Amino acid sequence: MENQQTNVEDNKDNSTPIPQTEKKKEEQLFFQCTSCIFRTKYDYFGRNPTQLKNYLLLEDSYVLEDPFSSPKEKNVIILGAHCIKCKKRVCKNMNCSCYFEGTYCICCAKNNVKMFPKALQEKINRIV
């Protein structure tokens, strides 16, 4: 068994590195919020998911086919988007982002809180 473990370790050290294009493909299959630990596979990124023929999203978004609905219903879950200020990926959790004419990560929202309507300013200021 020791030889097998050594061989596996040797194979790891001597393995051919994964080409950069393959790494990018792997990364593109998963959405990960930069504000929290949420990470999941997504099916589509953009404004016009194929499941929603009559809808156009207001911004490029990470979309997942709803695993809890029937295929006939064609429901989706909007996982997140890029912050329009810093371009980081953020999920739609209210502690990670807010939406006002685009998605803002909470950090950028707090740094620009004066530009939002009063009601949204109050919500942003309540977030730790």
Confidence of residue 128 (pLDDT cuts 50, 70, 90): low
Instruction: Tell me which of 22 and 65 has the higher pLDDT.
Output: 65
pLDDT digits (tens, 9 = 90+) for 1-47: 444 443 333 334 444 444 444 444 444 579 999 999 999 999 999 99
Provide the residue range defining the domain that includes 26.
19-126
Helix (H, G, I), strand (E, B) or coil at 83: coil
- Count: domains in the chain: 1
Reported residue count of the chain is: 128
Residue 1 inside a domain? The answer is no
The answer to whether residue 7 is domain-embedded is: no
CA-nearest of 76, 70, 67, 126 to 98 is 126
What mean pLDDT, rounded, does the chain reach? 82
3-state secondary structure of 104: strand
Predicted local confidence at residue 102, as pLDDT: 96
Look at the alpha carbons of 35, 25, 81, 44 in this order and tell me if their dihedral is positive or negative.
negative
Paired sense of beta strands 44-46 and 61-65, if any: antiparallel
| Structure confidence at residue 109 as a pLDDT band (50, 70, 90) | very high
Is 96 within a domain? Answer: yes
In a domain, 8, yes or no: no
In a domain, 3, yes or no: no
pLDDT of residue 28: 53
Q: Tell me whether residue 11 is in a domain.
A: no
Asked if 124 and 102 count as a contact pair (C-beta separation under 8 A), the reply is: no
Q: What is the pLDDT of residues 116-126, one digit of tens each?
A: 999 999 999 99
Max intra-chain CA distance, the chain: 67
23 lies in some domain: yes
Residue 5, domain member (yes or no): no
What's the predicted TM-score (pTM) here?
Answer: 0.73
pLDDT above 90 covers a percentage of the chain that reads 63
